């Protein structure tokens, strides 16, 4: 598979890195020589210095032979033009564009139907708001992924010191929990991802990923000593595009919301466009302002400024001052491993959201959904089994999956099965696969050869 990436920024760099590890043929285009040098020095891909909207440059990059074009520069306009030019030169190439400006929201479907014929428009800001909403809806969650139209959830939670399952072996969980035993897909311990076996123990401080049906999630959370409570009050620090989108979303859910924004003109702008949200002009890192706004009464404080150091400081400060939970927006991938160490567990990233959105569209077999988790150490994919597949019609204990990959869910019609060794996949079932990063290529081969998707 040949993929041309326009834009060598953080998103382009990390997508290129992921695809290179999977032995895909990748070409990266950027008009910044330093950005191109960074790519060529660190990743085994081809590079072209120039504008991704230039037909000459696109042809030099081999756009006519490419299956996919990813336009992921920081400029919406540049991404649109790159797709338009690529559509003229190579109409068969699938085109994906990152477009963040809300002014384009109503035109996403038009872009698919008319020039530049963009197959998929990715707005990471919308995905970040959706991610925050999922985190708010699951108490104690560090990560929440949804599959089967939201009917199945993959949840990552930290195991607290006094949790009743701390020290328990996975093989003993059915005895301890009975019918409420969840399927534990992975454990992250000391920043290393483990696909556990029956003899593995759950330890205090582990980040535990489990799979649950939506209608059983509340019961499953109690197993980990997490208890649902209504979300009533949210404070947003940063009134930029994401802050505005989130406030508008919370208004629609009738949740009491405040925004703190430093720019007076921006405050006026968002106050005029929102109906119920209280907009405050000030510095979110000002302790006196946080005290005045009763920070200790907030269910969530969400830090969404354009400065990630400010976001980190405000989140730590809010937690120390009594806020129940915080969500912190981070841009630099190098910061992610540090967050848990300093006490920040719930993190969102527009760049990571863009990567997750892109992954599901570039996987072979047209994967329904794909989520990258825990600093991209693993990926969760959703697919549909064909009648001709070798995994259909026999117990899972008799099926050999690639090393580092496990089946964690089967959706048959309206029924959802958390699989055991005796479970049998039927033709047309949706399946959910958890795979280490190194196993994704092998899973792709299975999906391409043995499976077909929507």
Token pair, residue 344, equals 């920040």
- Looking at the fold, whether 240 and 342 belong to one and the same domain comes out as yes
What phi and psi, each to the nearest 5 degrees, are found at residue 430? -85, 140
Which of 407, 399, 454 lies closest to 149, judged by CA? 454
Residue-wise pLDDT tens digits, 229-263? 889 999 999 999 999 999 999 999 999 999 999 99
Out of 75-89, 218-232, 245-259, 381-395, which region has the weakest mean confidence (pLDDT)?
A: 381-395
Residue-wise pLDDT tens digits, 263-318? 999 999 999 999 999 999 999 999 999 999 999 999 999 999 999 999 999 999 99
- Looking at the fold, whether 285 and 325 belong to one and the same domain comes out as yes
Judge whether residue 32 has pLDDT over 50: yes
% of the chain with per-residue pLDDT over 70? 97
Q: How much is the average pLDDT of 127-145?
A: 92
Model confidence band, residue 391 (pLDDT cutoffs 50, 70, 90): confident
Residue-wise pLDDT tens digits, 184-196? 999 999 888 998 8
In a domain, 330, yes or no: yes
Judge whether residue 180 has pLDDT over 70: yes
Residue pair 163/207 in contact by the 8 Å Cβ criterion? no
Work out whether the CA dihedral 73, 87, 381, 154 comes out positive or negative.
positive
Judge whether residue 226 has pLDDT over 70: yes
Which of 249, 301, 299 lies closest to 277, judged by CA? 249
Three-state SS at 41: helix
Residue with tokens 């400006």: 101
In a domain, 238, yes or no: yes
CATH of the domain at 187: 3.30.70.1450
Q: How much is the average pLDDT of 316-343?
A: 90
Q: How much is the average pLDDT of 107-130?
A: 90
- Looking at the fold, whether 15 and 86 belong to one and the same domain comes out as yes
DSSP string computed for 204-270: TT-EEEEEEEGGGHHHHHHHTT-------EEEEE--SHHHHHHHHHHHHTT-EEEEEES-HHHHHHH
Compute the distance between CA of residue 384 and CA of residue 25 in angstroms, rounded to an integer.
26
Number of Cβ within 10 Å of residue 208's Cβ equals: 23
Question: For residue 451, what pLDDT is reported?
Answer: 43
Work out whether the CA dihedral 94, 99, 103, 106 comes out positive or negative.
positive
Q: How distant is the alpha carbon of residue 207 from its chain centre?
A: 17
In a domain, 170, yes or no: yes
In a domain, 389, yes or no: no
CATH of the domain at 44: 3.40.50.720
- Looking at the fold, whether 179 and 211 belong to one and the same domain comes out as yes
Output 389 or 353, whichever has higher pLDDT: 353
Count of residues making up the chain: 454
Residue 187: give the domain boundaries. Answer: 138-223
Strand order in the sheet with 369-373: 369-373, 378-384, 430-436, 405-412, 415-417
Output 284 or 369, whichever has higher pLDDT: 284
Model confidence band, residue 447 (pLDDT cutoffs 50, 70, 90): low
Residue pair 125/304 in contact by the 8 Å Cβ criterion? no
Token pair, residue 418, equals 């958390």
What phi and psi, each to the nearest 5 degrees, are found at residue 37? -65, -40
In a domain, 377, yes or no: no
- Looking at the fold, whether 219 and 237 belong to one and the same domain comes out as no
Residue-wise pLDDT tens digits, 81-98? 999 999 999 999 999 999
- Looking at the fold, whether 299 and 327 belong to one and the same domain comes out as yes
Model confidence band, residue 364 (pLDDT cutoffs 50, 70, 90): low
Q: Which helix (H) or strand (E) holds 333?
A: none
Question: For residue 81, what pLDDT is reported?
Answer: 96
Residue-wise pLDDT tens digits, 404-441? 888 888 998 888 888 888 999 888 888 899 999 888 88
Judge whether residue 453 has pLDDT over 50: no
Question: For residue 454, what pLDDT is reported?
Answer: 42
Model confidence band, residue 166 (pLDDT cutoffs 50, 70, 90): very high
What phi and psi, each to the nearest 5 degrees, are found at residue 110? -65, -35
In a domain, 169, yes or no: yes
Token pair, residue 259, equals 């925004």
- Looking at the fold, whether 207 and 102 belong to one and the same domain comes out as no
Model confidence band, residue 332 (pLDDT cutoffs 50, 70, 90): confident
- Looking at the fold, whether 284 and 341 belong to one and the same domain comes out as yes
Query: In sequence order, what are the residues at sequence separation of 6 or more whose Cβ sits closer than 8 angstroms to the Cβ of residue 306?
Result: 238, 240
Last residue of a domain, one of 305, 326, 352: 352
Total number of domains in the chain: 3
% of the chain with per-residue pLDDT over 90? 59
Judge whether residue 450 has pLDDT over 80: no
Residue with tokens 């890195």: 17
Q: How much is the average pLDDT of 48-62?
A: 97
Question: For residue 448, what pLDDT is reported?
Answer: 62
Last residue of a domain, one of 122, 147, 177: 122
Residue pair 322/296 in contact by the 8 Å Cβ criterion? yes
In a domain, 29, yes or no: yes
Question: For residue 114, what pLDDT is reported?
Answer: 86
Q: How much is the average pLDDT of 126-144?
A: 92
Question: For residue 21, what pLDDT is reported?
Answer: 83
Number of Cβ within 10 Å of residue 113's Cβ equals: 8
Q: Which helix (H) or strand (E) holds 105?
A: none
Work out the end-to-end distance of the chain between its first and last CA atoms, rounded to an integer number of angstroms. 20
Compute the distance between CA of residue 135 and CA of residue 155 in angstroms, rounded to an integer.
9
In a domain, 79, yes or no: yes
Judge whether residue 452 has pLDDT over 50: no
Q: What is the mean pLDDT of the chain?
A: 90
Which of 136, 171, 424, 188 lies closest to 298, judged by CA? 136
Q: How much is the average pLDDT of 388-396?
A: 82
Output 112 or 262, whichever has higher pLDDT: 262
Last residue of a domain, one of 174, 190, 223: 223
Question: For residue 365, what pLDDT is reported?
Answer: 56
Out of 89-93, 164-168, 382-386, 388-392, which region has the weakest mean confidence (pLDDT)?
A: 388-392
Which one-letter DSSP state was computed for residue 397? G
Question: For residue 335, what pLDDT is reported?
Answer: 86
Question: For residue 171, what pLDDT is reported?
Answer: 92
Which of 10, 5, 3, 23 lies closest to 440, judged by CA? 23
- Looking at the fold, whether 217 and 241 belong to one and the same domain comes out as no
């Amino acid at each position: 598979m040949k993929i041309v990436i326009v834009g060598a920024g953080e998103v382009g760099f990390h997508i290129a890195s992921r695809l290179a590890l999977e032995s895909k043929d990748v070409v990266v285009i950027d008009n910044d020589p330093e950005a191109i040098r960074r790519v060529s020095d660190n990743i085994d891909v081809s590079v072209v210095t120039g504008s991704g909207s230039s037909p000459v440059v696109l042809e030099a990059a081999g756009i006519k032979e490419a299956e996919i074009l990813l336009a992921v520069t920081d400029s919406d306009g540049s991404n649109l033009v790159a797709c338009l030019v690529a559509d003229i030169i190579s109409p068969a190439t699938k085109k994906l564009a990152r477009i963040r400006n809300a002014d384009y929201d109503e035109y996403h479907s038009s872009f698919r139907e008319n020039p530049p014929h963009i197959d998929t428009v990715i707005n990471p800001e919308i995905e970040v708001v959706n991610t925050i909403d999922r985190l708010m809806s699951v108490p104690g969650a560090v990560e929440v992924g949804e599959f089967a139209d939201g009917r199945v959830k993959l949840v990552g939670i930290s195991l607290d010191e006094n949790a009743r399952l701390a020290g328990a072996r996975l093989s003993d969980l059915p005895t301890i929990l009975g019918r409420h035993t969840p399927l534990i897909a992975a454990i992250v311990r000391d920043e290393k991802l483990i696909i556990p076996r029956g003899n593995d123990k759950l330890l205090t401080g582990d980040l535990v990923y489990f799979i649950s049906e939506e209608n059983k999630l509340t019961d499953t959370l109690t197993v980990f000593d997490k208890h649902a409570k209504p979300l009533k009050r949210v404070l947003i620090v940063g009134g930029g595009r994401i802050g505005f989108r989130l406030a508008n979303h919370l208004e629609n859910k009738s949740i009491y919301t405040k925004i703190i924004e430093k720019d007076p003109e921006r405050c006026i702008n968002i106050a005029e466009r929102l109906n119920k949200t209280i907009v405050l002009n000030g510095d979110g890192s000002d302790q006196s302002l946080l005290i005045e706004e009763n920070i200790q009464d907030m269910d969530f404080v969400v830090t969404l400024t354009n400065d990630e150091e400010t976001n980190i400081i405000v989140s730590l400060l809010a937690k120390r001052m009594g806020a129940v939970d915080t969500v912190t927006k981070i841009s630099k991938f190098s910061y992610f491993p540090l967050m848990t160490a300093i006490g920040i567990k719930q993190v969102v990233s527009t760049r990571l959201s863009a990567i997750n959105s892109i992954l599901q569209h570039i996987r072979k077999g047209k994967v329904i959904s794909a989520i990258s988790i825990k600093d991209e150490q693993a990926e969760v994919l959703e697919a549909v089994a064909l009648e001709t597949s070798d995994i259909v019609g026999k117990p899972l204990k008799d099926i050999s999956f690639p090393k580092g990959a496990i089946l964690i869910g089967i959706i048959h019609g309206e029924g959802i099965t958390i699989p055991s060794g005796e479970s049998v996949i039927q033709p047309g079932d949706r399946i959910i696969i958890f795979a280490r990063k190194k196993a994704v290529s092998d899973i792709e081969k299975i999906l391409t050869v043995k499976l077909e998707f929507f």
